[in-house]
C-alpha cells in the first residue's frame, strides 16, 4: 500500500519527540528535546505555536484535567495552561540520564524511560503520589512504550539492545514481569525508537537512521514498511477526529535550514488508533 506522507509543521527540531494527541481540544503536542521547547498544533486550523521554553523535556503526558506533566532533565514538573511550571519532584535519580519517552498507563501511573551511560538508563514507574519504582534497567536509551488492547501486555522499545520487548502487565498494580523479545532489529533497519498501538493490536514503530516506519504484528512479524522523507524518524501517535491520522516526529533539524529534517509529518495509514491514557499524578 502506498501512503502519502505530508509535512505539516517544521520547527527544524534537533530531536522532535513524544507526539501526543489531545482529543478534547483536537490538537497535537510535541517536544524538541535539546532545545527545551514544546509545541502545540491546532489540527483544525493547521496553525501551531510554541507553548514552552525552558529545561529540556524528554517526555510528557496529559493529565486527567488537561494539564501537561513534564518529565524534564532530572525533575518532574506540572505545566498548567497559561501558568508557570511547578516542579513536583526535583533531583530525580542523578545516577541515570535525562528522561526520554514516557507514557501514562490505564490507571494514571506513568512509565518514564531514561537515558544514561554504561547501562544506567531504564524505565521508572511513577505513581499518583510521586512514589517511584525502577522497573527496567541496563540500557543507554529507553524509548517507546505502550499497552496491548486487552491491557495484559506492556511493550518497550530498548534502542540500546536493538530490541522490542513485551512483558506480562498487571493493570491493577502496574507490575511488569516475564520479559520476552518480540522483535530483534536488524542492523540495516536503523534504531528502533518510538512506538504506538493501533486498533487491531499491531505496533507502529519509528526507525531512527533508516527513514522508515514499520507496522509490526503481535507475533513480531513485519506487516508493512513505510518510507519517510527524512532519515531520523523518532516517534509517532494516532490522532485526528476519527483516530485515522498518524502523526510522526523526526530529528536532525537545524535552525535556518531548508530541509525537512526535524519536521512533524502526518499520514493516513488506513487503520485507526485509540486515545492515549491520561496521567493522574498529584491530582486533587
Residues noted as catalytic: 193
Strand partners, 139: 121
C-alpha span between 90 and 87 (Å, rounded): 7
CA distance 74 to 248: 26
Q: How many other C-beta atoms are found inside a 10 Å radius of the C-beta of residue 49? A: 9
How is residue 96 written as a grid cell?
541515570
Q: How many Å apart are CA 104 and CA 98, to the nearest integer?
A: 18
CA dist 149 → 152, 154, 171, 218 (Å): 8, 10, 12, 11
Of 82, 126, 130, 120, nearest to 105 by C-alpha is 126
Distance CA 32, CA 10 (A): 11
**Which residues partner with 215 through β-bridges?**
204, 224
Pair 243, 199: CB distance under 8 Å: yes
Amino acid at each position: 500500500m502506498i501512503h502519502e506522507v505530508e509535512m505539516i509543521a517544521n520547527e527544524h527540531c534537533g530531536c522532535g519527540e513524544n507526539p501526543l494527541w489531545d482529543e478534547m481540544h483536537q490538537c497535537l503536542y510535541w517536544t524538541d528535546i535539546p532545545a527545551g521547547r514544546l509545541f502545540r498544533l491546532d489540527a483544525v486550523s493547521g496553525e501551531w505555536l510554541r507553548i514552552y521554553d525552558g529545561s529540556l523535556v524528554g517526555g510528557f503526558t496529559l493529565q486527567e484535567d488537561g494539564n501537561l506533566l513534564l518529565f524534564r532533565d532530572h525533575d518532574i514538573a506540572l505545566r498548567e495552561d497559561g501558568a508557570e511550571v511547578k516542579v513536583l519532584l526535583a533531583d530525580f535519580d542523578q545516577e541515570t540520564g535525562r528522561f526520554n519517552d514516557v507514557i501514562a498507563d490505564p490507571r494514571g501511573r506513568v512509565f518514564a524511560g531514561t537515558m544514561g551511560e554504561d547501562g544506567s538508563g531504564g524505565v521508572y514507574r511513577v505513581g499518583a503520589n510521586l512514589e517511584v519504582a525502577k522497573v527496567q534497567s541496563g540500557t543507554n536509551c529507553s524509548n517507546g512504550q505502550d499497552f496491548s488492547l486487552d491491557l495484559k501486555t506492556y511493550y518497550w522499545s530498548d534502542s540500546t539492545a536493538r530490541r522490542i520487548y513485551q512483558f506480562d502487565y498487571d493493570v491493577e498494580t502496574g507490575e511488569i514481569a516475564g520479559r520476552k523479545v518480540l522483535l530483534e532489529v536488524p542492523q540495516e533497519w536503523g534504531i528502533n525508537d518510538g512506538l504506538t498501538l493501533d486498533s487491531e493490536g499491531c505496533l507502529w514503530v519509528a526507525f531512527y537512521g533508516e527513514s522508515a516506519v514499520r507496522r509490526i504484528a503481535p507475533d513480531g512479524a513485519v506487516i508493512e514498511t513505510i518510507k519517510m522523507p527524512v532519515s531520523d524518524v523518532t516517534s509517532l501517535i494516532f490522532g485526528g477526529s476519527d483516530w485515522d491520522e498518524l502523526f510522526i516526529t523526526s530529528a536532525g533539524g537545524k535552525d535556518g535550514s531548508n530541509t525537512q529534517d526535524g519536521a512533524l509529518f502526518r499520514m493516513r495509514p488506513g487503520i485507526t488508533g485509540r486515545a492515549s491514557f491520561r496521567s493522574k499524578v498529584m491530582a486533587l
